[in-house]
Structure formats: structure tokens, C-alpha cells
Amino acid sequence: MVKDDDGQIGVVAALVRSTFLVNAVYAEAAREYGITSQQGQLLCVMMAQPYGMSELGAMLGLAKSSLTGLVDRTERNGLVERRPDPQDSRAVRVALTRKGGRLAEEFYVETCRRIERLTTGLAAAERDVLAGLLGRVVLDNKVPVVFLEPDDGALADRKH
């Protein structure tokens, strides 16, 4: 818990504090778009493709009842819809509506811009090192892809 004389903090504190920082930026952007942070996360995850409820629960780390409530609220806002699963007649897939797709893309771009701005004090080479190290932590811990890369060609190809 003690800082070094040079102002450095340890890896645990740095990761935890950076999580709070990113979550705060995410929450602020979500409020400005009239959605909750959880709805923003759901929309960003769904940008890649429709998902089944169990897949979404695993990706977002939510229990079935919590996910059902989140999808219900987001569906009432006209941002997602449930569709029959073509592989399983008992299941549904959750997909973005046209309105949800537009909002997801706008929210995503703005959130990326704000998070990128957090690193403006770093040189390009330092940002590359940071991305490489954090990327290894994420991959080593098998974190699901819940947020696309900002320069992912799939986003550029999406037109509504």
C-alpha cells in the first residue's frame, strides 16, 4: 500500500485503480447516451453478432436472472430484440435492433475516444508497451472478447 519514493504504484493497485478509471469513463458516456453502463456493455458485446442468453451470461459474467432483467430493460428501450434460435427451437438469440445498432456504434466510438484520451500523457511507444502487456494479461486469463478493437474493420463495414 506504500508508494515508492518515485511515485510508482504496484501492479495490483495499478490494475485495480485503472479498472475504476475505465469504469468511470464508461459510466459517464453511458449516462450521456441515456443508458446504463450494463446496457452499454451489452450493446458493445452485441455489435459483433447476436448471441444466445447463456453465451451472453458467460461473456458478461451475469447470473441468468440478472441477464434476463438487463435484456428485458434493453428490449423495452427498443435497442435489442429476442429472435428464435435457428439451431434450438427452445432458445432465443438476442440481436441489436436497427436503433440499437446505431446507438451501439455511436456509444462505442465515443467510449473508445474517451478511453484513448486517458493515455494522452504517454508516448506512442509507451502506449504500445502498455497495450502489449495488458493484452498478454487478458489473453493469459482467457477474457472473452467483450469489446472490439477500435480499428476493427468490421466496424467500418457496418452500415445501417
pLDDT digits (tens, 9 = 90+) for 99-108: 999 999 999 9
* pTM of the model as a whole: 0.81
The set of cell numbers assigned to 57 is: 451470461
Residue 89 binned pLDDT confidence (cut-offs 50, 70, 90): confident
Amino acid at 70: L
Instruction: Report how far residue 23's alpha carbon sits from residue 150's, in angstroms, rounded to the nearest whole number.
Output: 17
Please, are residues 39 and 79 in contact by the beta-carbon 8 Å criterion?
yes
Q: Was domain 11-157 assigned CATH 1.10.10.10? A: yes
Contacts of 35 (CB under 8 A, 6+ apart): 43, 74, 77, 79, 103, 107
* Confidence check: pLDDT of 1 > 60: no
Longest pairwise C-alpha distance within the chain: 62
Whether 52 and 85 have beta carbons less than 8 Å apart is answered as: yes
Q: Which three cell numbers stand for residue 124?
A: 506512442
State the pLDDT at residue 72. Answer: 96
CA dist list (Å): 152 to 2, 107, 109, 135, 158: 40, 16, 12, 16, 11
Rounded Cα distance between 91 and 7, Å, is 53
* In contact, 93 and 50? CB cutoff 8 Å: yes
Residue with the larger pLDDT of the pair 150 and 138: 138
Ordered by start, the domain boundaries in the chain are 11-157
Give the pLDDT confidence score for residue 97 in this predicted structure.
97
Of residues 44 and 159, more confidence is placed in 44
> Percentage of the chain with pLDDT > 70?
90
Average pLDDT, the chain: 88
Helix (H), strand (E) counts: the chain: 7, 3
pLDDT at 157: 43
**What pLDDT does residue 86 have?**
87
